[in-house]
């Protein structure tokens, strides 16, 4: 753990984004190192999900560049973006399972679309990935028949089915009970060890951040205002970080 | 002052929508060579658009034909012999009523369902999820719907034309005592293949309008349930208006230029 010395796989340089006449990202800089689990914390609506969407090319910044293995993805064609995304996995806040498809079809879709594998082989891999997230006997179920926690886990299985290099988690524990939240935290740690992936977790759940993060970065006012290992977060005197991790209403962050 | 602000905003929204629609069209036209890879999806959509719309088209057409027959006879009385009833019903159904009314009722049904489905997928991040697994939503969602609508609408129109003429014929027989033979000979009297072809040519474009409006507004959905409702409404309103406006333009092009009376 503590891969700060690893080379950066993603380098974000001065990106800015205005959405609905509001400055969401304001010259944000951030390096993400190969193999680390980086947790980005910040208040709801501060632009954490927008940051993830920029990393994946779902949104384009108004200015600045995002380098993935030294290539600026903001200049990528759709074809190149799709090639890059095959090396990415993403767990969405609402799981975003395709509700017209069964669990099996959801998890196997990337394999069916991008590999020439046969049905048997695909079924085996899907069962294996579902096993990895602790699910059995759900292959033919539909998303509407699953609980929130199970949906998250199916979403996670889908995110890692192509053995990605980078996995992005958008609020992985939001809306789950504390026990299920911890199960998801364990899975994030487990998958990172098992598959040796780089993980970026966006959350406002500080407990989850301490548990899964090698490094924690705080997003505030459209920039990263703090970045360091969990121990440093616990002891820092930075007033913004202190107020957030202690969950106080008074302080430099205005409760809007 | 607020008036000008509102005017400016609606103009900007209009320009933005126009741009969005043309970009979507451009992207989906580039996908046409990939049609055969998505054949299963296309067939599923064809069933939804085509088979699913049959009951609606059936009822609409029968009654439209019936009322055309009644109104034509009412206009005729004393001046034109009733043996021309078939001519009038046939002409008006094949040229205008069949294509336009089929497009309007199918448009309402199909563009609403497309916009609601894609809009829900958009607000629940399913479209983003599709992008993330490197599956192009334009290829996977828009292309099958566009192909299905442009292929099925002409088919439904032929079905509608036949039923409307049948409806007119039955009513002519029951209410006005015009025998089926007399009605049919009236129908044949001024029937021209160009009319049928011209009417069906329009429906390709109507099908395209229905699918593109549904998909565009579905993709542009923002927010939650309210956003989906708004997108659905916009899809239905814009597809109906565009069908009526383009109908005039297409009629001008087809019947004044291509099949111009010599």
Higher pLDDT residue, B146 or B257? B146
Mean pLDDT on B116-130 = 94
With an 8 Å Cβ cutoff, is A19 touching chain B? no
**Domain parsing of chain B, residue ranges:** 17-256
Query: DSSP secondary-structure letter at A137?
Result: S
Q: Is A20 within the bounds of a domain?
A: no
Mean pLDDT, chain A, whole residue set = 89
| pLDDT higher than 50, residue A2 | no
By CA distance, what is A168's nearest residue in B? B132
Sequence-separated (6 or more) residues with CB below 8 Å from residue A177 = A149
By CA distance, what is A164's nearest residue in B? B133
Percent of chain B with pLDDT over 70: 100
Relative to beta strand A71-72, strand A63-68 is antiparallel
B132/A88 CB distance under 8 A: yes
Mean pLDDT on A44-67 = 91
Residue pLDDT, tens place only, B85-103: 999 999 999 999 999 999 9
Q: What is the DSSP string of A155-217?
A: HHHHHHTT--SEEEEESTTTTS-HHHHHHHHHHHHHHHHHHT-EEEEEES-HHHHHHH-SEEE
C-beta of residue A199 within 8 angstroms of C-beta of residue A187 = no
Percent of chain A with pLDDT over 70: 97
Q: Identify the pLDDT of residue A105.
A: 92
Cross-chain CB nearest to A92 (options B121, B125, B134): B125
Backbone angles phi, psi at A31, to 5 degrees: -110, 140
With an 8 Å Cβ cutoff, is B134 touching chain A? yes
With an 8 Å Cβ cutoff, is B17 touching chain A? no
Q: Is B208 left (phi over 0), alpha (psi -120 to 50) or beta?
A: alpha
Q: Is A6 within the bounds of a domain?
A: no
Q: What is the DSSP string of B222-260?
A: -SSHHHHHHHHHHHHHHHHHHHHHHHHHHHHIIIIIIT-
Cross-chain CB nearest to B132 (options A56, A97, A99): A56
Ranges assigned E (strand) in chain A: 8-19, 22-33, 37-41, 63-68, 71-72, 88-91, 166-170, 198-203, 215-220, 223-228
Q: Identify the pLDDT of residue B236.
A: 96
Q: What is the CATH number of the domain that holds A236?
A: 3.40.50.300
Closest-CA residue to A72 (of A54, A89, A87): A54
With an 8 Å Cβ cutoff, is B129 touching chain A? yes
Residue pLDDT, tens place only, A18-37: 988 889 999 999 999 988 99
A113/B136 CB distance under 8 A: no
Cross-chain CB nearest to A98 (options B126, B131, B134): B126
Mean pLDDT on B239-260 = 92
As a whole number of angstroms, the distance between CA B79 and CA B73 comes to: 10
Q: How many CB atoms lie within 10 A of CB A194?
A: 11
As a whole number of angstroms, the distance between CA B41 and CA A251 comes to: 55
Q: How many CB atoms lie within 10 A of CB A157?
A: 28
Q: Identify the pLDDT of residue A248.
A: 83
Q: Is A169 within the bounds of a domain?
A: yes
Mean pLDDT on B33-47 = 91
Sequence-separated (6 or more) residues with CB below 8 Å from residue B185 = B83, B86
| pLDDT higher than 70, residue B206 | yes
Mean pLDDT on A160-177 = 90
With an 8 Å Cβ cutoff, is A203 touching chain B? no
Q: What is the DSSP string of B17-52?
A: HHHHHHHHHHHHHHHGGGGGGGHHHHHHHHHHHTGG
Q: Cα–Cα distances in Å, from A49 out to A58, A92, B24, B153, B184?
A: 11, 9, 25, 41, 66
Q: How many CB atoms lie within 10 A of CB A239?
A: 11
* CA atoms within 13 A of residue B204's CA, in its CB half-sphere: 6
Bridge partner list, A219: A224
With an 8 Å Cβ cutoff, is A98 touching chain B? yes
With an 8 Å Cβ cutoff, is A169 touching chain B? no
Q: Identify the pLDDT of residue B253.
A: 92
B133 contact residues in A (CB cutoff 8 A):
85, 109-110, 113, 158, 162
d(CA B244, nearest CA chain A) in Å = 34
Backbone angles phi, psi at A15, to 5 degrees: -85, 145
d(CA A98, nearest CA chain B) in Å = 6
| pLDDT higher than 50, residue A124 | yes
Count structural domains, chain A.
Answer: 1
Q: Identify the pLDDT of residue B169.
A: 94
By CA distance, what is A94's nearest residue in B? B124
d(CA A1, nearest CA chain B) in Å = 28
B118 contact residues in A (CB cutoff 8 A):
none
As a whole number of angstroms, the distance between CA A200 and CA A194 comes to: 16
As a whole number of angstroms, the distance between CA B169 and CA B172 comes to: 5
Q: How confident is the model at residue A192 (pLDDT cuts 50, 70, 90)?
A: confident
With an 8 Å Cβ cutoff, is A82 touching chain B? yes
Alpha-carbon radius of gyration of chain A: 18
Please give the angle made by the CA atoms of A53, A57 and A61, to the nearest 5 degrees. 80
Q: How confident is the model at residue A167 (pLDDT cuts 50, 70, 90)?
A: very high
Q: Is A82 within the bounds of a domain?
A: no
Across the A/B interface, how many CB contacts are shorter than 8 Å? 50
With an 8 Å Cβ cutoff, is A109 touching chain B? yes
Higher pLDDT residue, A175 or A142? A142
Cross-chain CB nearest to A85 (options B125, B126, B132): B132
Q: Is A17 within the bounds of a domain?
A: no
For the entire predicted model, the pTM comes to 0.88
By CA distance, what is A108's nearest residue in B? B133
Query: DSSP secondary-structure letter at A145?
Result: G
Residue pLDDT, tens place only, B183-201: 999 999 888 898 999 999 9
Q: Identify the pLDDT of residue A256.
A: 64
Mean pLDDT on A126-154 = 89
Q: Identify the pLDDT of residue A5.
A: 53
Sequence-separated (6 or more) residues with CB below 8 Å from residue A124 = none
Q: Scanning the structure block, which residue is given the tokens 């005197």?
A: A237
Cross-chain CB nearest to A109 (options B125, B135, B136): B135
Domain around A168: 34-51+87-246
| pLDDT higher than 90, residue B141 | yes
Find residues 45-84 of chain B whose CB sits inside 8 Å of chain A: none
A8-12, A251-255, B96-100: which has the minimum mean pLDDT? A251-255
With an 8 Å Cβ cutoff, is B135 touching chain A? yes
Mean pLDDT on A40-69 = 90
């Amino acid at each position: 753990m503590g891969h700060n010395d690893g080379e950066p796989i993603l380098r974000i340089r001065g990106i800015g984004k205005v959405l609905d006449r509001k400055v969401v990202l304001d010259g944000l800089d951030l390096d993400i190192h190969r193999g680390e689990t980086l947790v980005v914390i910040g208040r709801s609506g501060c632009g954490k999900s927008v940051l993830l969407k920029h990393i994946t090319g779902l949104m384009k910044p108004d200015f600045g560049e995002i380098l993935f293995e030294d290539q600026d993805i903001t200049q990528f064609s759709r074809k190149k973006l799709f090639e890059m995304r095959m090396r990415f996995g993403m767990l969405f806040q609402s799981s975003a399972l395709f509700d017209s498809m069964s669990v099996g079809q959801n998890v196997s879709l990337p394999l069916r679309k991008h590999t020439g594998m046969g049905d048997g082989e695909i079924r085996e891999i899907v069962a294996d990935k579902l096993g990895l997230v602790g699910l059995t006997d759900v292959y033919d179920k539909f998303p509407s028949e699953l609980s929130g926690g199970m949906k998250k886990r199916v979403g996670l299985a889908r995110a890692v089915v192509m053995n990605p290099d980078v996995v992005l988690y958008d609020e992985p524990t939001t809306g789950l009970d504390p026990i299920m939240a911890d199960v998801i935290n364990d899975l994030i740690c487990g998958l990172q060890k098992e598959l040796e992936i780089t993980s970026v977790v966006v959350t406002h759940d500080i407990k989850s951040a301490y548990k899964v993060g090698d490094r924690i970065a705080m997003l505030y006012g459209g920039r990263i205002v703090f970045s360091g290992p969990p121990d440093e977060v616990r002891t820092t005197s930075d007033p913004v970080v202190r107020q957030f991790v202690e969950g106080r209403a008074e302080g430099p962050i205005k409760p809007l | 002052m607020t008036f000008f602000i509102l005017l400016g905003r609606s103009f900007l929204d209009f320009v933005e929508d126009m741009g969005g629609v043309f970009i979507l069209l451009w992207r989906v036209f580039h996908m046409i060579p990939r049609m055969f890879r998505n054949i299963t999806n296309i067939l599923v959509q064809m069933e939804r658009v085509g088979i699913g719309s049959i009951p609606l088209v059936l009822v609409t057409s029968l009654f439209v034909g019936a009322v055309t027959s009644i109104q034509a006879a009412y206009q005729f009385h004393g001046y034109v012999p009733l043996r021309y009833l078939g001519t009038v019903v046939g002409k008006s159904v094949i040229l205008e009523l069949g294509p336009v009314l089929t497009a309007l009722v199918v448009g309402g049904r199909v563009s609403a369902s497309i916009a609601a489905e894609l809009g829900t997928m958009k607000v629940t991040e399913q479209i983003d999820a599709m992008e993330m697994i490197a599956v192009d939503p334009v290829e996977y969602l828009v292309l099958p719907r566009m192909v299905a609508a442009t292929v099925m609408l002409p088919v439904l129109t032929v079905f509608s034309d036949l039923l409307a003429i049948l409806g007119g014929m039955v009513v002519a027989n029951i209410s006005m005592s015009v025998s089926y033979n007399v009605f049919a000979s009236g129908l044949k009297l001024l029937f021209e293949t160009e009319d049928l072809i011209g009417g069906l040519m329009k429906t390709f474009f109507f099908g395209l309008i229905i699918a593109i409006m549904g998909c565009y507004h579905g993709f542009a959905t923002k927010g939650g349930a309210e956003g989906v409702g708004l997108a659905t409404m916009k899809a239905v309103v814009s597809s109906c208006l565009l069908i009526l406006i383009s109908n005039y333009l297409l009629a001008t092009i087809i019947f004044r230029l291509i099949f111009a009376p010599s």
